[in-house]
Structure formats: C-alpha cells, structure tokens
Structure 1
Amino acid sequence: MKSIAQIILLFLTLQYTLAQTNTYSISFENAIHHEAVISATFPEVTTEIFTVQMSRSSPGRYALHEFAKNIYNFKATDSEGNNLVVTRPNPYQWNISGHDGTVTISYTLFADRGDGTYSQIDETHAHLNIPATFMFSPEFSDRKIEVNFRLREDLNWKIATQMPLSNGTTYTAPNLQYFMDSPTELSNFGIREFEVLEKDGRKKNIQFVLHHNGTEEELNTYFEKVKSIVLEEQKVYGELPDFDYNTYTFLACYIPNASGDGMEHRNSTILTSIRSLANGGMKNNLGTVSHEFFHSWNVERIRPKTLEPFNFEEANMSGELWFAEGFTSYYTNLILCRAKLISAEEYVEDLSGTFNYVWNSPARQFFNPIEMSYQAPFVDAATSVDPVNRENTFISYYSYGSILGLALDLSLREKGLNLDDYMKLVWNSFGKKEIPYTIENLKVSLNAYAGKEFGEHFFDKYIYKSQMPDYKSLFATVGVDLIQDDTTPYFGAAIATNDDLFGEIQRNTAIGSPAYIAGLDKGDVITAINNQPFPNGVSFQDFLKKFHIGDELKIDFLRFETIKSTKVRLTTSPNYRTELVEKNGEKPVKKVLNNRKAWLKIE
C-alpha cells in the first residue's frame, strides 16, 4: 500500500498538473452569421502583465495572415469575475494586468473562409483552422491544452480532429505547437477508415472524414480511391510514419461554400473543394489527396530546419521549399498514375503544362530554386495591393521543384537508381528520426546514394544555380517525346477577347517575348491590327493562326487614354508538348519500355 505521504504527493502532483492546463471553450449559437464565442482560462499566471495574442501565420503556410482582424468583443477577467485592464501594444496582441494569478478571456470570432488557412462558421459546419480561431499565450507554449467544442446538436454536428479525445466533446493537445497544427471539422460528416498493416506487423489507422452533400455510395467509391493512394505512397518510403495516437485523419469538405485548398498537418490534412464528387470531384479532387498525404513524410517529418519550430509570430521563410513542396508535387500525379487512377498517357501529357511554365520563365535569370523558395512569404496566399512583376521574376517552388524532381528521377534511373530510394534514404536519415535537415544534408545524401560526382553536379547546376537539365534526352529514356510547337505563331501576351475588355493585355508581358520587345505592357488596349479593328468575338490565338512565323504586325493601342503604335514580329511558340512516343507512330525498344514500366509502375 502507498503511504499517506505518497498519496498526498500524488494528489498534489495531480492538482498541479491540472492547474498547468490551459482550457478553451467554443460555441456557435450565431453560426448563421459566421460567429463563434470563445473563452480561455490561463491558471498560475506569475507575470505582472499577461500577454495573449492571435497568430500571424499558420502551419503549412509561409506568409502573414493577421488573424487578429476577425476578433472583437474582447474581455478579460480574474478568478472572481472581475474585469481586468487590457491594453493593445500592437494589432495582434492584448496585454492584461491586475489579475490574481488566473486570467480568463472571451471574444467573438468572425470566420467565413473554408480552406486550409482560415476558419469558416455557418450552419453547414464549423471548419476551424486553429491559428485563425484561438488566441494563445506565448509564455505558456509548453502547457497542455484542453478545448471543449460545444456542438450544435440541432445540426447533427460531430467532431473530427487529430487531437485525442479527453471526454465528451473535450479534446487535448500536449502543447501549443500540436494544438495550432490540429485543424478541426464540426459538421454532419461521413467517415470511413481502414487499417494499414506494416511489414513488421504494426497496424496504423487511416480515417477519411467527408463533409459533402453527396451520397453514401459516392463516399464509398471515393474512399477506395483514397485507400489506393495511401498504399501507393507507402511503397515509396517502405512504411507509413508513426502517427501520433496511431491515426491519420483526412478532413475533407467538398461543399459549395468552401474555397479550394489543401493543407498538410502532422497527423491530418485539410482538403477543400467546391467540386462535389458527382460534379467532377471523384477524379479531380484526388490530386490534393495525393499531395497532402505525401506531406505526412515530406515536410511534416522530413522537416526543413528553417521551419522548426514553426513561428506563429512571423512569416516563415525556408530555402528548401523546392524540395518540401516541389518534390511532393512531382509525386502528386505520379502516384495517381501508379495507383491506376489516371492513365500513363494522361500523366505524361499533363507534364507539359508545368514543364512549359518553368522552362519558358524569364525568372530563372533572377533566382535559383532556393531563392524562389524564399519568395513564399510574398506569394503563399499573401495579399498586397501594389502591382508586382511575378510573371517575369517568380516561378512557383511547387512547379520548379516538381520539374527538378522529374529530372532527378529520370537521371537516377539512367544509373540504375531511382528517386523513390533517394527519398527513402532521406526518410531513414532524417524524417524517421525527426532530425530537421538542411540543403547541405540533401546534397550529402544524394552524394552518398548516387556518387559524389552526380550529386555535386545536380546541386551545383540546378539548385545553387538555375540551369536546366537536358529534358529531351531524359524523356527519351522512358519513351516520351518532347516536341516543340514550331508551326504556331507566338505573340507573347495574354489578351482579353470578351465584350467588356476585348483587346486588353491582361498580364505583364514576358521578358524577351515579341510583345515585350515591341513595348507592349499590361493594361494596354489593342484597338487595331494592320489597320483593321481588333477582332472581337474570336479568340486571339485563333486569330493569330491566319499569320505566319516571321510576319510583322502593326499594332495600334490605347495607353493612359493616348493612342500609340508599335510593330510586333511573330516568332515560333516556345511551348512544348509531352507525349508517349507511340502517339507519334514509334514503338519503343524493350529497354525503353522497361524503363517506363519501372518509372510508372505499370505492366
């Protein structure tokens, strides 16, 4: 039997442990007007001035979002319910003084954007991204957190989250980092789950939660596709991650009031789309499933040192996003092909869009992939009102990294190696052990896997610099043609042809394009071509087909209410298409066909 002293010590320890828990409550009586009422209690406050704040950033995003803008009706009281003095040193912080060691705050949140960054509250659901919803105290970032979600039972709401259930409708998080990384869906959702058996006999649970307006049969069909993605991605790394609490949860909202998005988290992901399963989502929503689940390895556990720990008070800049996001993007459709959810022909032909975007961008003369990654705080759902020149200075690190991942994979396969095994090496060296990595770590790992000469060449040419691999030769090794469109005249400007804006140049013209060389710019309105009125009612691309490469066009245009004139000489289109060689009447030799089968995992 325990002694009285031991029992007293255990009791005091339990009391102290409970006292060190920050408790939250959220209710939705006015959901029809997108409001939630939130309260939080912080015990054992020892500082004279106690600070709470709203996050300025959100896990998986890299820009500032200033969630404090949707907070109002803020109050702070002590343990007796007495009002406390509140001051505001900046837009996202509240300083509270005069407390008695306990501070309780309450406020109203307005939320009406259902995506991976923000929160949305209405009578269909409470879609909660935690940083957009809950205030926090920086000094108590290591404390346990409990949150009681007060359900709208009249709306048949249930709760789905990666946080473990404590009791009733109360869930817990071990600390602030885990809490902020735990999106939560409250709605009348459907749920499916299955167990994945690992080679060592361990079982891991996968849940798919879907809030939608469709049928149970549609959910069943879609869930089988999700399962095939999970199992195909497991093959890349040889195992699933060790999910906390042994469960991974997809939180999907495919509803008309959502905003299309996907956002990875440690043991869950948000998937949002306005496409219902019956209206194209059964196929078109799968890419986000593939991308976000791949992140449970690459970025959540294979984690850049620059993002560890995540900073909720500043923008989070990382030079590794070409790998964390870009290589994940490379695998997104590759996995769908391997899982037989899209055909090899579909996969290959779809590569051309991303390839052309990266290959033809003038931005590579300004930034390499690392520096493109540094741009994330300015582009990752960031907002600004002043015009920018992204068309000429930025390539998405998603696309840039995806095309480099493709090149690395095909280059490794020429040596009898492959990208899957390199990713597996990085996983075992860093991700599985949860050791944050650097770019140098990635290079050293590639040197170890493929040889120093190969690894140094890849990083020196394509990562530290912005040169491009020989894609035509690489594609040929797997029986894919890279064909330039050498018959279509190229003007080099996106021009509106609708009734309201016809003739207006919609975007900055690309450096080096015919339109750019001729001095045309965004906002110019073309009024006549070769002294003929602008051809309203026909697409500009179709109109250009009546001309030939090398033709010179006289362009009259309106700029700042002044008529101007210039000449544009049409050139060959810089765009390429990617096709299986069979489409062009060629039969690949056995070696090439075997290479393709190994790459796409097809028979």
Structure 2
Amino acid sequence: MRVHSIKLLFLFVLVSFISCDQKNDAGTAAVDYVISFPNAVHHEAEVSVTFSEVPSGIFAFRMSRTSPGRYALHEFAKNVYNVKATNGKGELLDITRPDPYQWVVESNDGTVNVSYTLFANRGGGTYAQVDETHAHLNIPATFMFAPSQANRPINVVFDVREDLNWKVATQLKKEGGNRFSAPDLQYFMDSPTEISNHQIRAFDVESNGKNYTINFVLHHNGTSAELDAYFEDVKAIVLQQKEVFGELPDFDFGEYFFLGCYIPNASGDGMEHRNSTILTTTRSLADGGAIGTVSHEFFHAWNVERIRPKSLEPFDFEEANMSGELWFAEGFTSYYTSLILCRADVRTVEQYINGLNGGFNYVWNSPGTQFFNPIEMSYQAPFVDAARSVDPVNRGNTFISYYTYGSVLGLALDLALRNEEGNLNLDDYMKLVWNTYGKEEIPYTIDNLHQALNTYAGKDFGDAFFNNYIYDSKMPDYQRLFASVGVALSQDGKTPYFGARVSSSHRISNEPTIGSPAYKAGLDSGDTILSVNGKKLDANTSFGSLLSTFKTDDEITLAINRHGNEKTLKVTLAKDPRYTIQPYEKVGLELTQGILDKRNAWLGRK
C-alpha cells in the first residue's frame, strides 16, 4: 500500500475541517480536494477528495478524457491507481468499474471519500508532471470528479513540499495559505497550477478604470537578470495586444498569470486558460525561452477564452471536442502571434516578413485544399491535436493545420481590408467581434463571424471572403496584397522538384505529395532508392546532391527496392513550387513613401 492508513486519516480529517462551512449561496456542500507529493522523486502525487451530500444509491466518479484547449482524447485515467473509497465513518466501500474512465460505489451514507495515487511525468499544457523540481498540474490530468456534482463549489489544498521551497501559482481564488477555491468544475478544470521554487515578475495595466496585475511566474534555472530582460518583452507584448482590442478582458480577481516552466525536464507546449496560461519549453532564457508562445497564448485571453466558439460551450470532459471555428480561434491567433512580436519590437520587420515563408508555403503548396476547406480542417482537430494512433495516415496530403491555414487567411484578410476605402484593418474587425460577442461572453458561430465582417467591411467584401476562402479553399491574390505593403512574392521556377522526402539512407520517408513527380511516377513511402540514371547511391552520395545536378523537365530513371524487390521507375522533374517572400528592399524594388506608410500602419507599434 502506497498511502498509509494514518496518512489517509489525516487527509480526510483535513478535508472535513476545511469543508465544514464551505457551501455556496444555495447551501450546497463543496467538493474538497487535498493533494500531496511525498514520493515526488518517483513522479507520484497522493490525492484525496471528499464528496458530500451524496444522494443514496449509485455514485460515479471519474477522470477526465479531455482538457480545455485540447480537442483530442487523452485518457487521463491511465495514470491513476491505488484507488480507494470510504464512507463518512471511514468504512471501505466496494468499487466497480463500468468502463475505463470511471469508478462506481453502489451505496453510501451521504459522504464518499476517495483517495488515489497519480503518476505524472509530462510537463506541458495537457498533462501533469511531479518530480523534485516541481508539481506542474493540469487539473483534468490530476483530479477525479463526479459529474453529478459538477455545479458545486470546489476547495483544494496543495500540501506543498516545504523542504523544496515550493510555492503555489494559479488563477484559482486564494483562500489563505495553500488553500484555493473555484466556483464550479468548469472553472476548476480550467485552472492549471504550478508549484515550484519559482520567480515572479508583475506589472499593473489600467483598463476601463480598473487596474489588472499581470504576473509572469517562471520556474527556470537562469538568472534574475535574464528574467528581468525577458519580462520587458512580455510587457511590450501585453500592451500591444491590448491595443488590438482596445482593452484588457475583465480578469477574475484582477489578475492574470503566465505560468512558465523553462526547464530541461519540461515538454514544449503552451495552453490558454481563462485568466492564465501554461508556457513550457526545454529552452532556457539564454536560448530565447518561448516568447512566441507568450504572444500566442495571451492573445487567447480574448480570442477563444471569451470570444468563444459556440461549439466549445460548455467544454466536454467526457468526449472529444470538435469545432469548425478553429481556423479563426487558433488560426487568427497564430497570425497575431508573430505580428505582435513585430509591433512590440521583439522581432524586426525583416524578421517578420522572412518568417512568413514557412507557413505560406506549407499551406499553399499542400494538396490538402483539394479535400477540406478551413472549417473542415478544423473538424480534424480530435485526430491531430496531440492525438495518438499507430496506423499510417495520409495527412501530409489531406491535412493543413488550422493554426497555419487560419494564420495565412488572417494575413490575407488584414491586407485586403487595408486596401479597401475607409482605413479598414483586421484589428478593428477583431474589436467588433470582441465588443459583439467576447466582452459579454456570447458564444459565436461561423455565420456570426461572416455577418460581423459584412457589417464591418460591407456585404460584398464579407461575402466574397467567406465564400471563396472559408466555405471554399481558394487562394487569395497575395501578389497584389503583398505589393501594397512593399513585400515581393516570387517563385524560382529553375530548381528541380521531386515531391517526396528522401532520408540519408535513401529511403522515401513520407507519402509523396499528390500531383508531384514522385507521386505520378508511382513512388511510395518506404521505397529505397538504389541508383539514379545508373549511378548507385551510397553513404557518400546523397539523393539531394544528385538531384541538384538536373534541371526542371528532365526525366530521370530510378532503381528502387520495394519490399525486397527491385523495380525501375522514370520520373519527370518539375519546377519547384515554393514561394519566396521578401521585403522590396532586398530584391531591388522601389519602396515609395506611400507603400512604406502602409507597411508601418500594418507592422508598426501601436
């Protein structure tokens, strides 16, 4: 037994003590949790929960299958063991398991005390991690809950490791000491908690006559001077994002928390929550940290947390969550991620423009637009959002990330608006959506976004954008749009294009791109190229170096090994479809004052 009976008794007495007068306005008893970390070195936490005023008969409690901000199933029950339940007298209750996700007791005396051990060793935005550096807790990955008590208030005591100098940082309401509360399950599940020997930097921002404290909590191995310098960039990002919407959200309890873990044992991630965000990376501050994640996740305080798709309300902890609006919720947020870094002078204008190349080519050179529009790409989230499967898929040909797809569409919409009469821009459209839906937290639909654009830019403009690029998957006229802000879009046309990745062992490592020379020739993932035009490939001869000696439209003969059999195929090389995006200054084009003014209005500090 991993939890001694005396420890269990102490936990239940403590829970009973803190819950005796904790009821909501209707007099409903709270759900009370205590979590401790005596075996942190082996990634274990001990959790107890008391469910009070439980009706007689069957009572079910469970682990979540999902997590706010994620759309796939994650099956957190897999990391729970040593589960026990007692009644109010401390008598053991029989537990049954109707499915992998929940536990059931068939009788009780109005109180059900549950205890269990949690194994936690992934420090990112979705899971939990416990070790001797910290207790990094994503709530759905940590705490059981009872669906029948989802509307009850919640109390939680974090029994921290004082020997490790741990402190608690969370958006939960502080009730004193290490005791915190939430009004209900939805809020509790949306409240990640970082417990560690962290550092904090904070500044106050005025908005609509109120002062809000923005806290940057960082668990890291760097210096205070590095954190001070980094925090200056964080402040600039916060203020530039406030300018987009004209105000901050009305953060609960007047505070917002960045919860950062920039440590070697973390996993790179970021996850937005109502009044906080998780930021995790293995990169130290000296290596740049995760400043792009800071920008992306804080923008979500408006776009997703309050400008909220109706399809995600309420968030379902028992099933996958699907939304057709992720091209806007995640994609437009991704557009602003880098744009804000430029406006905040964290990135230069040239760095920003050069940075457009990767995402632009990924989207517009993908055959995925043949199969799904941005709405349907968003529907794929439960299959791709950190989801796990073992069978091969053809996503390289059929899927484009709604993050990136939405980002390049946000770019097109912003530049298109700036070419309309009336000094239009995407910032003001986002303000309109914020004031119409986000500020009062009215969940929106795709049609709501469409009608809002019609209201802002006119019906002809709004209908054209949605009909061509959202309900369909056509490509905007980027050449014209970029030219208006002094950015050149070009294609080489001279470099030969093959259409499949070839590893250092000469093996084709992906499904060839639909329509590419490799695809048309009948090459397949797993094929090993033995020779090109009779020249054998070996450890000293790469396929890429040989390919560069040919020209577009050349026909080459490949000898390949497929499933142990040799085969000969002919491939006709094509023109490289990749685009290059550069500032006019870098390609010798004239940057007039009028064009420069437009660019500054787009990328300059607000």
Distance in 2 (alpha carbons) for counterparts of 1:16 and 1:392: 55
Matched, 1:180 2:183: no
Q: Which amino acid aligns with 2:365?
A: N
Structure 1 residue 34 displacement after superposition: 0.4
Map of 2:581 onto structure 1: 578
Map of 1:69 onto structure 2: 78
Matched, 1:316 2:321: yes
Q: Which amino acid aligns with 1:317?
A: M
Q: Pick the aligned partner of 2:480 from 432, 448, 473.
A: 473
Q: Pick the aligned partner of 1:164 from 169, 173, 181.
A: 173
Map of 1:237 onto structure 2: 245
Structure 1 residue 97 displacement after superposition: 1.9
Map of 1:427 onto structure 2: 434
Compared with structure 1, are the counterparts of its residues 13 and 251 closer, same or farther at alpha carbon in structure 2 (3 Å cutoff)? closer
Distance in 2 (alpha carbons) for counterparts of 1:570 and 1:401: 31
Unaligned runs of 5+ in 1: 1-10
Q: Which amino acid aligns with 1:22?
A: V
Distance in 2 (alpha carbons) for counterparts of 1:556 and 1:585: 44
Compared with structure 1, are the counterparts of its residues 269 and 57 closer, same or farther at alpha carbon in structure 2 (3 Å cutoff)? same
Give the SS at the match of 2:519.
Answer: helix
Distance in 2 (alpha carbons) for counterparts of 1:547 and 1:554: 12
Give the SS at the match of 1:434.
Answer: coil
Compared with structure 1, are the counterparts of its residues 23 and 233 closer, same or farther at alpha carbon in structure 2 (3 Å cutoff)? same
Q: Deviations over 1:512-569 (max 9, x none)?
A: 0100011111111111111111253455434322111111111111111111110111
Distance in 1 (alpha carbons) for counterparts of 2:22 and 2:256: 32
CA contact (8 A) 1:189 1:211 kept: yes
Q: Pick the aligned partner of 2:406 from 388, 393, 401.
A: 401
Q: Deviations over 1:144-188 (max 9, x none)?
A: 000110000111100000001112111100000000000000100
Compared with structure 1, are the counterparts of its residues 16 and 104 closer, same or farther at alpha carbon in structure 2 (3 Å cutoff)? farther
Q: Pick the aligned partner of 1:362 from 364, 367, 374.
A: 367
Distance in 2 (alpha carbons) for counterparts of 1:249 and 1:414: 38
Q: Which amino acid aligns with 1:361?
A: S
Q: Which amino acid aligns with 2:517?
A: P
Q: Which amino acid aligns with 1:344?
A: V
Structure 1 residue 280 displacement after superposition: 3.4
Q: Deviations over 1:419-460 (max 9, x none)?
A: 000000000000001000000000000000000000001001
Deviates more, 1:578-587 or 1:296-305: 578-587
Q: Which amino acid aligns with 2:35?
A: I
Compared with structure 1, are the counterparts of its residues 18 and 146 closer, same or farther at alpha carbon in structure 2 (3 Å cutoff)? farther
Map of 2:9 onto structure 1: none
Structure 1 residue 201 displacement after superposition: 2.8
Number of aligned pairs?
585
Map of 2:356 onto structure 1: 351
Q: Deviations over 1:270-327 (max 9, x none)?
A: 000000011232xxx1110000000000000000000011000000000000000000
Map of 2:113 onto structure 1: 104
CA contact (8 A) 2:56 2:108 kept: no
Give the SS at the match of 1:85.
Answer: coil
Map of 2:416 onto structure 1: 411
Map of 1:123 onto structure 2: 132
CA contact (8 A) 1:109 1:133 kept: yes
Distance in 1 (alpha carbons) for counterparts of 2:541 and 2:482: 36
Matched, 1:340 2:340: no
CA contact (8 A) 1:55 1:313 kept: yes
Matched, 1:517 2:524: no
Q: Deviations over 1:369-428 (max 9, x none)?
A: 000000000000000011000001100000000000000000000013000000000000
Map of 1:4 onto structure 2: none
Map of 2:57 onto structure 1: 48
Distance in 1 (alpha carbons) for counterparts of 2:28 and 2:473: 55
Q: Which amino acid aligns with 1:403?
A: V
Q: Pick the aligned partner of 1:28 from 6, 13, 37.
A: 37
Distance in 1 (alpha carbons) for counterparts of 2:105 and 2:175: 30
Map of 1:38 onto structure 2: 47
Q: Which amino acid aligns with 1:492?
A: G
Map of 1:389 onto structure 2: 394
Unaligned runs of 5+ in 2: 1-19
Structure 1 residue 143 displacement after superposition: 0.4
Q: Pick the aligned partner of 2:454 from 427, 447, 465.
A: 447
CA contact (8 A) 2:334 2:407 kept: yes
Q: Which amino acid aligns with 1:486?
A: G
CA contact (8 A) 2:23 2:29 kept: no
Q: Deviations over 1:189-239 (max 9, x none)?
A: 0001000022x3321110000000111111111111100000010000000
Give the SS at the match of 1:227.
Answer: helix
CA contact (8 A) 2:240 2:605 kept: no
Compared with structure 1, are the counterparts of its residues 577 and 602 closer, same or farther at alpha carbon in structure 2 (3 Å cutoff)? farther
CA contact (8 A) 1:481 1:578 kept: yes
Distance in 1 (alpha carbons) for counterparts of 2:559 and 2:22: 82
Map of 1:155 onto structure 2: 164
Matched, 1:137 2:146: yes
Superposition pairs of residues 292-311 of structure 1, within 5 angstroms: 292-311=297-316
CA contact (8 A) 2:24 2:152 kept: no
Structure 1 residue 262 displacement after superposition: 0.3
Distance in 1 (alpha carbons) for counterparts of 2:285 and 2:523: 43
Give the SS at the match of 2:103.
Answer: strand
Structure 1 residue 82 displacement after superposition: 0.3
Map of 2:3 onto structure 1: none
The CA RMSD over aligned residues, in Å, is: 1.4
Identical pairs, percent: 62
Superposition pairs of residues 322-333 of structure 1, within 5 angstroms: 322-333=327-338
Structure 1 residue 592 displacement after superposition: 1.2
Give the SS at the match of 1:430.
Answer: helix
CA contact (8 A) 1:535 1:543 kept: no
Deviates more, 1:131-140 or 1:533-542: 533-542
Map of 1:8 onto structure 2: none
CA contact (8 A) 2:173 2:181 kept: yes
CA contact (8 A) 2:368 2:397 kept: yes
Give the SS at the match of 1:587.
Answer: coil
Structure 1 residue 591 displacement after superposition: 1.7
Structure 1 residue 590 displacement after superposition: 1.9
What is the TM-score of this pair, normalised by structure 2? Answer: 0.95
Map of 1:464 onto structure 2: 471
Structure 1 residue 338 displacement after superposition: 0.5
Give the SS at the match of 1:287.
Answer: helix
Distance in 2 (alpha carbons) for counterparts of 1:274 and 1:444: 43
CA contact (8 A) 1:551 1:569 kept: yes
Map of 2:8 onto structure 1: none
Give the SS at the match of 2:449.
Answer: helix
Q: Which amino acid aligns with 2:353?
A: V
Give the SS at the match of 2:215.
Answer: strand
CA contact (8 A) 2:561 2:567 kept: yes
Compared with structure 1, are the counterparts of its residues 15 and 365 closer, same or farther at alpha carbon in structure 2 (3 Å cutoff)? closer
Matched, 1:558 2:566: no
CA contact (8 A) 1:41 1:103 kept: yes
Map of 1:206 onto structure 2: 214
Q: Which amino acid aligns with 1:374?
A: Y
